[in-house]
Amino acid sequence: MRLTTATAIAALTLGAFGAQAQDKTVKIGNLNDMSSLYADIGGPGSTLAAQMAAEDSGLVAKGWKIEVIGGDHQNKPDVGGSIARQWYDVDNVDLIVDTPNSGVALAVSQITKDKNRVFLNSGAASSDLTGKACSPNTIHWTYDTYALANTTGKAVVKAGGDSWFFLTSDYAFGHALERDTEAVVLASGGKVAGKVRHPLNTPDFSSFLLQAQTSKAKIIGLANAGGDTTNSIKQASEFGIASGGQQLAALLLFVNDVHALGLNVAQGLTFTESFYWDLNEQTRGFSDRFAKRSKGGAKPSMVQAGTYSAVLHYLKALEALGGNPKDGAKVVAKMKEMPTDDPIFGKGTIRQDGRKIHPVYLFEVKKPAESKGPWDYYKLKATVPADEAFRPMKDGGCPLVKG
Amino acid sequence: MSAAAPAAAAQAAIAAPDAARDFRIAFAIMTALLIAAPFVVYPVFLMQALCFALFACAFNLLIGYVGLLSFGHAMFMGFAGYIAAHLAKVGSIDFTLPLIGVGPHWRFGPLPPLVAIAAGVVCSALLGLLVGALAIRRQGIYFAMITLALAQMVYFFCLQAPFTHGEDGIQSVPRGKLLGIDLSVDLSMYFFVLAIFLTGFLLIYRIIHSPFGEVLKAIRENEARAVSLGYSVDRYKLAAFVLSAALSGLAGATKSLAMQNASLTDVHWSMSGEVVLMTLIGGLGTIFGPVVGAFVIIAMLQYLSPFGQWVTIMQGVIFVVCVLAFRRGVIGELAAVWRKSL
């Protein structure tokens, strides 16, 4: 009798230990704009990218159970925040990915920290995510406003565009992009003639563009994204901004935006991205597989590719830990420890402040004659190496760095 | 008709003590359900629903018992939410004039939850006094349009004022502590919200059944006759408007602490429409109707959210069905079937 009890206790203890070490279930939530101005850049495509990462990780074959779900934050911080809270509290989501819209991203980052889960941001741009609002549970993956400003801003001023007028989306993202670009323009010897802020998701840019036109600035910097950028570029061409001698600088442009605009309107735009599907053999391979499954055969945007890369590395870290520890800060620490390597960005690292480091590229949109067909849109103009692309850690003001 | 009228009056006279008993029973059932609910349903969702229920009850006080359709009630809810969130998180009052750069400016640090909520209520009551004084001068559609126009002005103010942080809203608002109880635990916060909701609900019941409430109902039925009886109708209307605004503010301020954010969604005009929908679905002019309506609408928003923008269309269909099939609303129809006043 005593023996059986002892065996039972031993079995139970072992069982308990086993269960703890072998918790191999992961739930990933893609919190995104599913129906509005950022839906093409991230949206359902990011859910697909996360699913592909789960398949490519090879963990399913090793007995892991990985589930990917999607949610629509409607670009409202309160909606995004309550979905995140519910995913963490009720649905046991371990990881939230992507989340374009910096306002929503900042809210989700805070909730993720409170609940000790993981937030891998690909879609939002605000450099504050690794600056004053950095968190031990958040990694900012694909790009940020500093990288955009630093690369595009410098290149444009160098090419003679030394007076700027900003057309800024009036929320966290736009403010950060405008602030970071202005700093670069001033540091490079340029000046800022003025700025105007427009509400998010604006259909009519005419009054803003007229102000930009009367400012006589050489460069009109578009500190907005997605549907807002394509709308302002289209309307600028209707207003004849280019023929008046002013140039547009799209500070954030995605391949889907160029696809929507068409090369006739978009040609000649110079901008910064960290991924383009036609960069090399590996990016082409991933993008072809993605396009076969995406809506309308669209190539992946930088944001969607970044989501794939982030989820892949997250799963690698979980495998290295031997199971899902259900401890966000621990997983993120492990992710920072391991070097990254994937078909999207090649080799890279994650800094202490949560910034993922890889090269960024300066692209120019091709002329219609140069393009071989749909999705053949970019010419590579310059490559900025990983260590120069992003804001130096000491300048960010992230409290994690001091400690 | 002539024979039925005295009979109805007699019935009403008998029904009066019955009505109070019915209310007590229904109230006890509701309270019991709400106390048990957080152990079954996600408390954060319940808190949100309770705040909207109080908001709908406050709105119903105006449309159901005075017959005033305000189409700008979101301004009271949203603005109080911003005030409470700002005081609970930052704790400063800044009247520095933008161009001159001078003006009173106080910094006193984050305030405890009850003080922050009380400040929100005071602000929305003052706002209600201002808006009400202008709006009650007109009736019907003009009244609705004036409230809508003023609400749009408040929306614009909330979009532009520095302390509201525009599109980002005020995020990660601390819930603070009450009598040493840490409200950051969802369950304790739930009971705090429930207490506020029940207080507000009973206050509304008391208002409706006071002599003051009887005058309000008289104004709803026949304003000219109320004037001829010597009542100063405008004062009664204004008082009801301010009470409704203050209670909407109570709902908004509580919500911003419970959900830990204050955002533009709550001051947007579509929120003013949502509260009309809640009240109609639950039952206009019934005391429990708005509570049921709010739970129905919030549950829909919550559980249909995977359908994205289709939710608005579904909401529209439900609204049409409700108006065509059961015009008195869920509780209104039940009350008619059971011949009770709920």
pLDDT digits (tens, 9 = 90+) for A39-49: 888 889 999 99
List CB contacts (< 8 A) between B44 and chain A. 82, 85-86, 89
Based on the domain organization, do A250 and A364 belong to the same domain?
Answer: yes
CB atoms within 10 A of CB A157: 22
Report CB contact under 8 Å: A78, B172.
no
Expressed as residue numbers, the domain containing A269 is 146-273+360-389
List CB contacts (< 8 A) between B42 and chain A. 86, 89-90
Higher-pLDDT residue of B107, B189? B189
Residue A81 confidence (pLDDT) above 70: yes
List CB contacts (< 8 A) between A71 and chain B. 305-306
Report yes or no: A393 and A353 within 8 Å, Cβ to Cβ: yes
Question: Rounded CA gap, A251 and A242, in Å?
Answer: 17
Based on the domain organization, do A159 and A132 belong to the same domain?
Answer: no
Confidence of residue A36 (pLDDT cuts 50, 70, 90): confident
Work out the mean pLDDT of chain A and round it to a whole number.
88
Based on the domain organization, do A133 and A168 belong to the same domain?
Answer: no
List CB contacts (< 8 A) between B309 and chain A. 35
Give bridge partners of residue A340 from the DSSP assignment: A348
Q: Is residue A75 part of a domain?
A: yes
Instruction: Provide the phi-psi class of A290: left if phi over 0, else alpha when psi is between -120 and 50, else beta.
Output: alpha
DSSP letter string, A261-273? H-HHHHTT-EEEE
Confidence of residue A302 (pLDDT cuts 50, 70, 90): very high
List CB contacts (< 8 A) between A72 and chain B. 305-306, 308
Report the side by side order of strands in the sheet with A163-169: A191-198, A163-169, A219-223, A247-250
Interchain contact A300–B (C-beta under 8 A) = no
Based on the domain organization, do A46 and A87 belong to the same domain?
Answer: yes
Sign of the Cα pseudo-torsion (B219, B222, B225, B229, in order) = negative
pLDDT of res. A19: 45
Asked whether the ipTM of the predicted complex exceeds the cut of 0.85, the reply is no
- CATH number at A204 reads 3.40.50.2300
pLDDT tens per residue across span A165-207:
999 998 888 999 999 999 999 998 899 999 999 988 899 999 9
Question: pTM of the predicted model, to two decimals?
Answer: 0.83
List CB contacts (< 8 A) between A223 and chain B. none
Report CB contact under 8 Å: A34, B308.
yes
Nearest residue in B to A172, CA atom: B168
Sign of the Cα pseudo-torsion (A16, A22, A25, A28, in order) = positive
List CB contacts (< 8 A) between A106 and chain B. 168, 171
Based on the domain organization, do A256 and A374 belong to the same domain?
Answer: yes
Q: Give SS3 for A200.
A: coil
Report CB contact under 8 Å: A171, B260.
no
Nearest residue in A to B167, CA atom: A171
Q: Give SS3 for A354.
A: coil
Question: Rounded CA gap, A53 and A48, in Å?
Answer: 9
Give bridge partners of residue A96 from the DSSP assignment: A29, A119
- From the list A78, A103, A106, the residue facing B259 with the nearest CB is A78
Question: Rounded CA gap, A98 and A178, in Å?
Answer: 22
Structure tokens of B136? 């009650």
Give start and end residues of each alpha helix (H) in A245-375: 255-261, 263-266, 281-293, 302-321, 328-337
- Mean pLDDT along residues A290-306: 91
Residue A2 confidence (pLDDT) above 60: no
Based on the domain organization, do A121 and A25 belong to the same domain?
Answer: yes
- Mean pLDDT along residues B130-139: 90
pLDDT tens per residue across span B54-86:
999 999 999 989 988 999 999 999 999 999 999
Question: Rounded CA gap, A354 and A356, in Å?
Answer: 6
Nearest one of A171, A266, A273, A272 to A224, comparing CA atoms: A171
pLDDT of res. B336: 83
CA B284 to chain CA centroid, Å, is 13
CB atoms within 10 A of CB B157: 14
Based on the domain organization, do A49 and A121 belong to the same domain?
Answer: yes
Based on the domain organization, do A170 and A126 belong to the same domain?
Answer: no
Q: Is residue A24 part of a domain?
A: yes
- Mean pLDDT along residues B203-225: 92
Residue A24 confidence (pLDDT) above 70: yes
Based on the domain organization, do A303 and A364 belong to the same domain?
Answer: no
Based on the domain organization, do A210 and A69 belong to the same domain?
Answer: no
Nearest residue in B to A91, CA atom: B42
Interface residues on B facing A, Cβ-Cβ cutoff 8 A: 42, 44-45, 48, 159, 166-169, 171-172, 186, 259-261, 263-266, 305-306, 308-309
pLDDT tens per residue across span A360-372:
999 999 999 999 9
pLDDT of res. A350: 92
Question: Rounded CA gap, A356 and A340, in Å?
Answer: 9
pLDDT of res. A18: 45
List CB contacts (< 8 A) between B304 and chain A. none
Q: Looking at the 3D structure of chain A, how many domains does it have?
A: 2
> What's the DSSP call for residue B170?
B
Report yes or no: A70 and A58 within 8 Å, Cβ to Cβ: no
Confidence of residue A3 (pLDDT cuts 50, 70, 90): low
Q: Which residue has the tokens 């100063």?
A: B232
Report CB contact under 8 Å: B259, A34.
no
Lowest mean pLDDT among A186-200, B136-150, B165-179, B297-311: B297-311
Based on the domain organization, do A112 and A200 belong to the same domain?
Answer: no
Question: Rounded CA gap, B249 and B237, in Å?
Answer: 18
Domain residue spans of chain B: 15-35+42-267
Question: Rounded CA gap, A100 and A92, in Å?
Answer: 22
Question: Rounded CA gap, A44 and A389, in Å?
Answer: 29
Question: Rounded CA gap, B32 and A108, in Å?
Answer: 34
Nearest residue in A to B307, CA atom: A72
B55: enclosing H helix or E strand: helix B43-65
pLDDT of res. A363: 92
Report CB contact under 8 Å: B44, A71.
no
pLDDT of res. B98: 63
Report CB contact under 8 Å: B265, A71.
no
Report yes or no: A345 and A309 within 8 Å, Cβ to Cβ: yes
Confidence of residue B1 (pLDDT cuts 50, 70, 90): very low
Report yes or no: A277 and A292 within 8 Å, Cβ to Cβ: no
Residue A14 confidence (pLDDT) above 50: no
Give start and end residues of each alpha helix (H) in A189-301: 206-214, 227-238, 255-261, 263-266, 281-293
Q: Which residue has the tokens 């001068």?
A: B137
Report CB contact under 8 Å: A81, B305.
no
Give bridge partners of residue A248 from the DSSP assignment: A220
> What's the DSSP call for residue A151?
I
Q: Is residue A394 part of a domain?
A: no
Question: Rounded CA gap, B166 and A196, in Å?
Answer: 15
Report yes or no: A30 and A46 within 8 Å, Cβ to Cβ: yes
Residue B197 confidence (pLDDT) above 80: yes
Beta strands in A99-190 (DSSP E): 118-121, 138-140, 163-169
Beta carbon pairs, A and B, within 8 Å: 65
Amino acid at A383: T
- From the list B42, B171, B264, the residue facing A86 with the nearest CB is B42
Give bridge partners of residue A69 from the DSSP assignment: A29
Based on the domain organization, do A42 and A132 belong to the same domain?
Answer: yes
CB atoms within 10 A of CB B327: 12
pLDDT of res. A75: 86
CB neighbours of A160 closer than 8 A, spacing ≥ 6? A218
Residue A151 confidence (pLDDT) above 50: yes
Residue B252: phi, psi to the nearest 5?
-65, -45
Question: Rounded CA gap, A314 and A139, in Å?
Answer: 10
Nearest one of B178, B161, B179 to B170, comparing CA atoms: B161
